[in-house]
Chain A
Amino acid sequence: AQTVTQSQPEMSVQEAETVTLSCTYDTSESDYYLFWYKQPPSRQMILVIRQEAYKQQNATENRFSVNFQKAAKSFSLKISDSQLGDAAMYFCAPKNNNDMRFGAGTRLTVKP
């Protein structure tokens, strides 16, 4: 079973600045997916970004990018030009086949 560690329960960033959320995981698999989901106060789980483990290139979605270090089993999320709407809980979730495990989450606050 995969274990997922998000070591930052809370993070804060100034609007327009950059913030990085960390995630490490443990898996014995070589082929898997990794996801970051965002959960705003509405509690909807929203996909932020997706990475395939076999791809060396880091995924990017507009202001969101990842730093995927497969050997270190690390999958951090970088948010550039932070906006007030980015305030939410962020969950890291590695997935092997249909077994997706979630970290405990990082609560991101964005200061105006």
Chain B
Amino acid sequence: DAGVIQSPRHEVTEMGQEVTLRCKPISGHDYLFWYRQTMMRGLELLIYFNNNVPIDDSGMPEDRFSAKMPNASFSTLKIQPSEPRDSAVYFCASSTRTSGRTDTQYFGPGTRLTVL
């Protein structure tokens, strides 16, 4: 399996611009997670989906952030408009259920976002 795929790997943009991060989960996984990693706050869960439906978006920092999962093999995280404090590494992870419980989350390589 190719693992979780994220694109782009690096993104540099200017304040006020729209940014779209993309994720392809592991085939067959029905849970998808978006995390953000910063020096100040560490790793934080932003939102997760089950069977393409957003289940918990309580970690989304504000209305400038939105996430979609139009099908089982693709998800986007959009920031509009972007601000310098959004600079971070954004990870996508996916998992599935074993023995009736959600199991290990496998992470993508991350997207390093820099907002100037």
Contacts and interface: CB of A to CB of B under 8 A. Distances in A.
B110 interface: yes
A48 to B, nearest CB: 11
B43 A97 contact: no
Given A43-B89, A105-B42, A100 B112 contact: no
A99 B43 CA distance: 12
A45 B110 CA distance: 9
B104 A47 contact: yes
A66 to B, nearest CB: 15
B56 interface: yes
Contact of A45 (B91, B101, B103, B112): B91
Interface string A20-38: 0000000000010101010
A104 B109 contact: no
A35 to B, nearest CB: 7
A91 to B, nearest CB: 7
Contact of A104 (B42, B104, B106, B110): B42
B55 interface: yes
A100 to B, nearest CB: 6
B45 A100 contact: yes
A50 B105 CA distance: 11
A95 B48 CA distance: 14
A24 to B, nearest CB: 16
A91 B55 CA distance: 25
A47 B103 CA distance: 12
Contact of B105 (A42, A44, A100, A105): A100
A62 interface: no
A102 interface: yes
Interface of B: 31, 33, 42-43, 45, 48, 50, 55-56, 89, 91, 93, 101-107, 109-110, 112
Q: Which 7 A-B pairs have the closest CB atoms?
A: A45-B107, A102-B43, A44-B109, A43-B110, A98-B102, A104-B42, A98-B48
